[in-house]
């Protein structure tokens, strides 16, 4: 809502400010229970900045460059996620745990300073529809009106009719993507260490193999998304995890599991920003913040589901069973993306499918 009303720069500044406040709260917290609200602030700051970052990026590039932009965003994010624990470990070992969160505050301050350079782009009321489905558009209502918080169906109806089902399918695919990633990172350690008897070092190398394949795919994934079409990335990246999840419970040798993790790395690399890019192609410019926020909220619901349901299934059967249980959902998502969702790429020379705005 803030992004759609005030532009992307505001959440870009709110996010790192909350992250700095969270770091300070953790450093000063005298008990565990005061750490929890600080972590909630950190989560709010992260979500705010991620939405602002995506919308700001989309507004600065042409429609047929979004795939490379989003792939670069997700790739550098993956690199940061890999570097962060290593840097935090060094700070924690050489100083103490509070130094980790002081470092967290320093990073937040750096991001805040960089976000100040973001262009100020307020929404143009002339480009917002005044009436949708016979009723006033959401953007014509007061910012804090109660109807804004319960009007997701109306926002979806502001999408071009032939692309509404595509948006909902992309939301479902996002749910499954987050579900399988969370399930993988919560259940794989149990499966390979506890169930198969591998060492923690072997597990670390397996995850490193996956990460290497993800990094290798950053540039190719962006080119595939922008040059061949969004589906060339979204369909394989949704289908390949289903194949991998079926194979994991039957893999016994270390190199068999390593090959499966390599395949998952390829699919993760292809998915870098491809679903987000397709969504930005579909949704109208005046509702980017809210409709992408709904997709990301659904994504987090998938992450919660993956860890909770996966753990329950593992406790009832074995750590390999959750992978088999999740595979059908991934197959359904892949089939919907392949055969029901529409291609959304717009080329500079010749339209492949309609975007939310013309290519520049």
- Claim to verify: residue 80 and residue 161 sit in the same structural domain: no
- Claim to verify: residue 84 and residue 197 sit in the same structural domain: no
pLDDT (tens digit, 9 = 90+) per residue, 150-185? 577 888 888 999 999 999 999 999 999 999 989 998
- CA–CA dist 123, 139 (Å, integer): 10
12 within a domain of the structure (yes/no): yes
- CA angle 304/27/33 to nearest 5° reads 50
Strand partners, 136: 131
- Claim to verify: residue 172 and residue 289 sit in the same structural domain: yes
Strand partners, 131: 136
59 within a domain of the structure (yes/no): yes
Question: Which of the two residues, 338 and 61, has the higher pLDDT score?
Answer: 338
Alpha-carbon torsion, ordered 279, 107, 222, 259, to 10 deg: -110
- Claim to verify: residue 198 and residue 114 sit in the same structural domain: no
pLDDT at residue 351, rounded to an integer? 42
**pLDDT for residue 44 is more than 90:** yes
Domain final position from 119, 136, 168? 119
- Claim to verify: residue 85 and residue 200 sit in the same structural domain: no
358 within a domain of the structure (yes/no): no
- Claim to verify: residue 186 and residue 100 sit in the same structural domain: no
**pLDDT for residue 355 is more than 50:** no
145 within a domain of the structure (yes/no): no
345 within a domain of the structure (yes/no): no
**pLDDT for residue 129 is more than 80:** no
Alpha helices in 61-96 (DSSP H): 66-94
pLDDT at residue 189, rounded to an integer? 87
- Claim to verify: residue 113 and residue 174 sit in the same structural domain: no
**pLDDT for residue 286 is more than 50:** yes
How many distinct structural domains can be found in the chain? 2
Q: CB-based contacts of 6: which residues, under 8 Å, 6+ apart? A: 122, 123
* Residue pair 179/326 in contact by the 8 Å Cβ criterion: yes
Q: Which of 144-153's residues contact partners 24+ apart within 8 Å by CB, and which partners?
A: 148/1, 152/290, 152/294
pLDDT at residue 15, rounded to an integer? 94
- Claim to verify: residue 112 and residue 157 sit in the same structural domain: no
307 within a domain of the structure (yes/no): yes
**pLDDT for residue 350 is more than 50:** no
- CA–CA dist 204, 213 (Å, integer): 15
- Claim to verify: residue 296 and residue 239 sit in the same structural domain: yes
3-state secondary structure of 282: helix
φ, ψ of residue 136 in degrees (nearest 5): -60, 140
- Claim to verify: residue 168 and residue 237 sit in the same structural domain: yes
- Claim to verify: residue 184 and residue 288 sit in the same structural domain: yes
Domain with 76, as residue range(s), is 2-119
pLDDT (tens digit, 9 = 90+) per residue, 96-118? 888 889 999 999 999 999 988 87
- Claim to verify: residue 12 and residue 161 sit in the same structural domain: no
> Which has the minimum average pLDDT: 30-44, 143-157, 295-309?
143-157
**pLDDT for residue 354 is more than 50:** no
290 within a domain of the structure (yes/no): yes
pLDDT (tens digit, 9 = 90+) per residue, 210-251? 888 888 888 888 889 888 999 999 999 999 999 999 999 998
Strand partners, 135: 132
pLDDT at residue 345, rounded to an integer? 85
306 within a domain of the structure (yes/no): yes
pLDDT at residue 121, rounded to an integer? 65
Position 144 confidence tier, pLDDT thresholds 50, 70, 90: low
φ, ψ of residue 159 in degrees (nearest 5): -75, 145
**pLDDT for residue 332 is more than 50:** yes
Secondary element (H or E) of residue 311: helix 288-316
Region 40-61: mean pLDDT is 88
* Residue pair 165/297 in contact by the 8 Å Cβ criterion: no
**pLDDT for residue 346 is more than 80:** no
pLDDT at residue 124, rounded to an integer? 52
Residue keyed to tokens 């209502």: 141
Domain final position from 73, 103, 119? 119
* Residue pair 51/3 in contact by the 8 Å Cβ criterion: yes
Whichever domain contains 241, its CATH number is 1.20.1250.20
Residue keyed to tokens 């193999």: 209
Q: Rounded to a whole number, what is the largest CA-CA distance in the chain?
A: 64
CA 254 to chain centre: 30
Question: What's the mean per-residue pLDDT of the chain?
Answer: 83
Domain final position from 119, 143, 174? 119
pLDDT at residue 8, rounded to an integer? 87
Question: Which of the two residues, 276 and 232, has the higher pLDDT score?
Answer: 232
């Amino acid at each position: 809502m803030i992004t759609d009303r005030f532009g992307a720069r505001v959440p870009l500044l709110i996010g790192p400010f909350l992250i700095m406040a969270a770091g300070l709260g953790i450093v000063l917290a005298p008990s565990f229970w005061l750490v929890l609200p600080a972590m909630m602030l950190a989560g709010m700051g992260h979500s705010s900045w991620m939405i602002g970052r995506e919308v700001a990026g989309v507004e600065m590039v042409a429609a047929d460059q979004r795939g490379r932009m989003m792939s670069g965003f997700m790739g550098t994010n993956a690199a940061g996620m890999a570097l962060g624990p290593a840097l935090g470990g060094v700070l924690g070992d050489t100083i103490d745990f509070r130094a980790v969160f002081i470092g967290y505050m320093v990073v937040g301050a750096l991001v805040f300073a960089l976000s100040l350079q973001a262009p100020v782009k307020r929404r143009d009321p002339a480009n917002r529809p005044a009436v949708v489905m016979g009723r006033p558009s959401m953007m014509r209502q007061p910012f804090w009106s109660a109807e804004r918080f319960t009007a997701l169906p109306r926002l979806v109806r502001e999408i071009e009719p032939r692309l509404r089902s595509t948006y909902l399918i992309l939301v479902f695919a996002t749910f499954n993507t987050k579900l399988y990633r969370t399930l993988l990172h919560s259940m794989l350690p149990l499966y390979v260490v506890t169930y198969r008897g591998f060492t923690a070092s072997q597990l670390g190398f397996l995850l490193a193999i996956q990460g290497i394949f993800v990094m290798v795919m950053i540039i190719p994934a962006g080119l595939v998304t922008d040059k061949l079409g969004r589906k060339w990335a979204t369909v394989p990246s949704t289908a390949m995890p289903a194949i991998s999840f079926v194979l994991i419970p039957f893999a016994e040798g270390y190199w068999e599991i390593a090959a499966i993790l390599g395949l998952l790395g390829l699919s993760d690399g292809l998915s870098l920003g491809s679903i987000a890019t397709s969504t930005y192609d579909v949704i109208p410019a005046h509702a980017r913040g809210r409709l992408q926020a709904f997709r990301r909220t659904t994504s987090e619901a998938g992450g919660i589901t993956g860890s909770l349901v996966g753990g329950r299934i593992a406790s009832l059967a074995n750590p390999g069973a959750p992978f088999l249980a999740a595979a059908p959902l991934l197959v359904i998502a892949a089939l919907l993306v392949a055969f029901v969702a529409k291609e959304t790429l717009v080329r500079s020379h010749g339209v492949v499918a309609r975007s939310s705005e013309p290519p520049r």
